Structure 1
Amino acid sequence: MTSMATGSGSDAGALPVPYAVPNLLALERADRHGSPPGANDWTRRPSADHPNPVVLVHSTSGNKQGNWQTLAPLLSNEGYTVFALTYGAVPHTPWPIDAIGGITSMKRSARQLAAFVDRVLDATGADKVDIVGHSQGALMPNYYVKFLGGAAKVDKYVSLAPLWGGTDLFVTIDLPRWLKGRRTSVVARRVLYGISKACQEMRPDSAFLRELARDGIYSDALTYTNIVTTLDQVVVPYTSGCVEGPNATTIVVQDEHPESNVNHLGLMADPIVARYVVDALAT
């Protein structure tokens, strides 16, 4: 399903907005290391109505164009200056492996995000950015916010399927043990060990999550919006993303739309969720 977005940037030249989960591999084949429509125009300046550039942060095993075929053009049509990065790819691997992000340690990824945000601020002249993240991309940026200076550079933080308390899905995953005694290529080992690092950090009560929550999940300097679905099959339980805070709002899609069957991946391409994101950024 494809629709034309409405909003301050909508006109005859508005970008089409597809509401369907895209095929990452097909996108990469068509445009190697490409950006989603409406994102990464480094000559575009923020408008007075939307002075904060929006940085889109993808999920585990996603990338900048695979996750944001819906929200990048939608937000661009709404008048936002939009940027997206691929972070956490395994170094020294060939294409298309090097286009798969969100694999390495989230601390390493947070440093990549910090450098990207600095580049966005330098290019646009803005004082702060807003962040929209999905899954790991809704968790990892908070490490940047809390420990790498991001609190002074981020205003609104919108999370699709955050996992502040981790996910039970990764409790049984132990790829290093599984790899022992198995013959695999060097590239495969790099990728699997990388995935293992990110997955272990997302386990409940991991050292990474304990550090992130040590003084409370949220930074006082930001406004947080958590958007979750009861049908999430990756963030288990989905309530891992429902942490209360004076500067945090949590939206459970089915509370207002009980008919919704949106799942974990669907959050990044659902029209109801997309409107929640637009509203959160506009607040």
Structure 2
Amino acid sequence: MRKLLIPLFAAVGLLTGAATASAAPTSGVNDYSCTPSAQHPEPVVLVHGLGANGPLNFATLAPTLAGHGYCVFYLTYGTGILGPTVGGLKPMEDSAAELGAFVDKVRVATGAAKVDIVGHSEGSTVPAYYLKFLGGAAKVTHFVGFGANYAGTSLDGLATLATLLHLGPALTGVGCASCAEYLPGSDFLTRLDAGGVAVPGPTYTNIVSKYDTVVTPYTSGIFTAPNATDIVLQDHCSLDFTGHLGQAVDPNVASFVLNALDPSSPVRCQPFFDPGA
């Protein structure tokens, strides 16, 4: 168990340094000369969570996807008073528009008609808005959200995230417009949930953990729709004890993501312990 815990603590430590750390683009990622293969014709756009950024949030998943033959891209969106490495702070409507522009940039560069989107936490909520209200459904084949959140979270959940990211009160203060939108009953969530989150066209895959203490309740990340699949990690991988941040480095989450993008990719479970929430 000791050998298992050491790399996992290191990985979660990498994520919780998102407020101050910077990183060079991961090898094989954000390569605008990448040509999608016949097996994986849609480039994958990765969308980070609240208080994070592209390079750090996807330091594990981005090279994993690239290693499976995907053209992989990420952005850092919604930055504000905390600087260019802390994203997701602006109103989620604005961030969704920023995502839309990035998707178009990827499509033009790669020649792909559509992309796949994979997002963590707020990286599920922002794309859901983009798909529903900004024309994204016509440009996306598969949408996968892990640590997903479509119905908001409690103030305790936001405070937990701020503590884990070492951002103190910043995520719940005036510098974080998206935080207010995450409170249940907000105008943003009311609009997103009206008539259902999903729209026809893309497939939706929602991945959540029973041990998530940031998205509370964790069921805020699942919904019923004809084109949606809901995955509670522990219903499939009983020895997975990941919380919220750890889903970014969880090999079981990566396995489900790969399967959602390509059903021929098998799902394999392994024990995973996440010391973070």
Query: Normalization by structure 2: what TM-score?
Result: 0.82
Residue 83 of structure 2: which of 97, 100, 103 is its match? 97
Stretch of structure 1 that moved more, 215-224 or 20-29 = 20-29
Q: Does 1:79 align with 2:78?
A: no
Q: Does 1:169 align with 2:155?
A: yes
What pairs up with 1:10-25 in 2 under 5 angstroms?
20-24=11-15, 25=17
1:249 match:
229
Residue 38 of structure 1: which of 23, 28, 47 is its match? 28
1:66 match:
56
SS across alignment from 1:163: coil
Q: Does 1:210 align with 2:210?
A: no
Paired residue type of 1:45 = T
Give the whole-Å Cα distance in 2 for the aligned partners of 1:79 and 1:67: 20
Aligned length: 247
Give the whole-Å Cα distance in 2 for the aligned partners of 1:229 and 1:136: 15
1:144 match:
130
Paired residue type of 2:229 = T
Paired residue type of 1:204 = P
Paired residue type of 1:56 = L
1:233 match:
213
Label 1:56 to 1:30 Cα distance change in 2 as closer, same or farther (>3 A): closer
2:163 match:
none
Residue 98 of structure 2: which of 112, 118, 138 is its match? 112
Give the whole-Å Cα distance in 2 for the aligned partners of 1:190 and 1:245: 32
Q: Deviations over 1:81-133 (max 9, x none)?
A: 0000000001xx5xx72211011110110111011000000000000000000
Q: Deviations over 1:187-226 (max 9, x none)?
A: x98994231x111111111100111122211011110000
Percent identity between the aligned chains? Answer: 46
Kindly indicate whether the alpha-carbon contact (under 8 Å) linking 1:170 and 1:200 is maintained by their aligned counterparts in 2.
no
Query: Normalization by structure 1: what TM-score?
Result: 0.81
How far 1:36 moved relative to its partner? 3.0
Query: Which residues of structure 2 form unaligned runs of 5+?
Result: 160-168, 264-277
Label 1:260 to 1:129 Cα distance change in 2 as closer, same or farther (>3 A): same
Give the whole-Å Cα distance in 2 for the aligned partners of 1:172 and 1:82: 29
Query: Which residues of structure 1 form unaligned runs of 5+?
Result: 3-17, 174-187
Q: Deviations over 1:142-192 (max 9, x none)?
A: 11111111111011000001111111236898xxxxxxxxxxxxxx98994
